[in-house]
Amino acid sequence: MNQEIRSKLDRICNVLYAGGLAVPTLFVEQISYLIYLKLLDERENELETKARLLKNNNGNDKSLFPDQAARYRWSNWRFKSGKELRDFLRDQVFPYMASLLKEQPQVAIYFQDARMEIDDAHVLKEAIDILDGFHFAKLGPDVKGDIFEYLLQYLAKQPQSDMGQFRTPRQIRVAMVEMVDPDFGDTIYDPACGTAGMLIDALEHLLAKYSTTPREVPIYGDEWLDDKGLTLAQAKKQIPNLQTYRKGAGEKIPDWAVLEHSIYGIEVSRQMMRISMMNLVLHGIRNAHVKRANALSELGGLSDDDLNRKYKVILSNPPFAGMLPTDSIRKDLPTQSKKSELLFLGLMMDALAPGGRCAVIVPEGALFGSTSAHVELRQKLVEDYELLAVISLPAGVFKPYAGVKTSILVFRKPGEYARAENKKQKVEKKDGRKVWFYELKNDGYDTDKISGGGRPETPNQNEIPEMLRQWKYFKESGFKTPPGTEAGAVLPPGTEEAKCWWAKVSTIAESDYNLGAGRYKPQVGEKPPEEDAVELIGKTLKLERDIADGLEELLKELEAVK
């Protein structure tokens, strides 16, 4: 994304923000409406061009704006101004788009209950004029996706922004995606998708995997390199710990429609659902299964297909700050808890297909909570699933929005013995399994400081790249040989503090299925005293005799006074 595009986006942001749209979710939602209308207009241009070139058009691609409805196209109303423009959009264009349930259900769902919240007609006109200068059809999914990511990052820096509650830092998302390694044909699911960040990173991972010439991008973005005046090669030479991820066009994807239909997301907020849909559309995914619903609720809007569907890859950072009423909770979840973090974890365990893998962020309390609901769910996770890793994240990873300590759980649903009825067979299969623990103290950003609304970059100290290298060794061993030392080991004096270690499932079971990384961390032994032991004992005895002699003298003086 070049500087000209960034400047235009900054202008839109500044205009809308100054025009009274200071709430981030509302801010992005209104921009997404306008972008969507511009995209649909460009799609109509493509259909018209196709119709002219193909004389025998089979009629499969039908216009969204036939006959009199043509007046609802961007290109036919964008020249309006003032209240006429505002009222036409609000009272006619939006309702028309929401009415297209039969013709284009995805579009209709997007505009269902949509409201134009830009009251200042002059602000609206300026935003439309700027967006009219974009030709999205000429931009690849890579650039279009960067546009929306840029808007989200910009909003996160706004004063008093609450956007952070919806966003997982990219460096964490990228690591989680790499660990579960989604592939073409996998169904990919996030039951609390927010802005669809996890789904987008999974998509980019796939596109890079199926590209002839993928390129590396720093987690800080291409603009970061431009600002520093460095090429990627120069940056990697200067910063050995620089974390990157890959992007590509995905030209080797066998069937794009299959890819689109393999992406699933649930989001309880209608505003956030729209934002996530737009994020996916701008990344080239028009037909993802993203819907507004409450994934935990008995009456949350889920269909029977939603409830029964199983997924090969699940990635999520669900909300974990609430409790649901018992009557509202789905009865099919493998936990009786009312805590949202346990409910989401149980939901993901249940939604995994045999052989499927999951990476989910959970609060530390879920790892060592002592209630029966905590222990029973962890027992099920350890005994009936393959818990591969617990990655302890820095306490400040979600600052400035939250300081809660979290970890990533990575687990699989066994394929070969998931249906076994004989419990002894299960025990024999899991015998010798090990859980890998890794303690991250730096994720590429300062864990203590806040500057300019965010954490300052610390690329030299980022420990995620090394963690991923160690994960690769673990994976190549078939998850049989985890790096590091066994739980409870005492390391030789002078040894560096352990970053990773492992524990047998039997050891974890003996500890009430406690999954706190610190519970099993190896300790560094203390150095023995450098003095000679005989000499040290002699000094100690002399000191004790001196004390005894002094007490004897004091006693005599006290007796003399009497």
Residue 495's pLDDT is 82
Q: Work out the percent of the chain whose per-residue pLDDT is above 90.
A: 51
Tokens for 58?
Answer: 């089979």
pLDDT in tens, 40-56: 998 888 877 777 766 55
- Which residues does the chain have with pLDDT short of 50? 57-59, 158-165, 417-425, 427-428
Check whether domain 324-523 has CATH 3.40.50.150, yes or no: yes
Cα separation, 453 vs 431, in Å, equals: 48
Query: Going by DSSP bridges, is the β-strand pair 386-392/406-412 parallel, antiparallel, or unpaired?
Result: antiparallel
- pLDDT tens by residue, 401-415: 667 889 999 999 998
Give the SS3 label for residue 337: coil
Q: Beta 263-267 vs 188-190: how paired, if at all?
A: parallel
How much is the pLDDT for 554? 80
Query: 5 near 147, Cβ under 8 Å?
Result: yes
pLDDT tens digits, one per residue of 189-234: 999 998 899 999 999 999 999 999 999 999 998 888 888 899 999 9
> Angle formed by the axes of helices 170-180 and 197-209, to 10°?
50
* Domain ranges (residues) in the chain: 3-156, 324-523
pTM (2 d.p.): 0.85
Which CATH architecture does the domain made up of 3-156 adopt?
Up-down Bundle (1.20)
Report helix, strand or coil for 523. strand
Exposure string for 414-423, b = 16+ CB within 10 A, e = fewer? beeeeeeeee
Predicted confidence (pLDDT) per residue in 247-274, tens digit: 998 999 999 999 999 999 999 888 888 8
CA distance 163 to 147: 17
Please list, in sequence order, all residues whose beta carbon lies within 8 angstroms of the beta carbon of residue 358, skipping any fewer than 6 positions away.
180, 313, 314, 315, 348, 349, 352, 409, 410, 411, 412
Instruction: Specify the pLDDT at position 562.
Output: 66
Q: What is the DSSP string of 199-221?
A: HHHHHHHHHHHT-SS-EEEETT-
Residue 164: predicted pLDDT: 43
Q: With contact defined as beta carbons under 8 Å apart, do 82 and 89 qualify?
A: no
Measured distance CA(330)–CA(336) in Å, rounded: 10
Q: Do domains 3-156 and 324-523 have the same CATH topology?
A: no
Whole-angstrom distance, CA of residue 465 vs CA of residue 239: 12
**What is residue 223's predicted lDDT score, i.e. its pLDDT?**
81
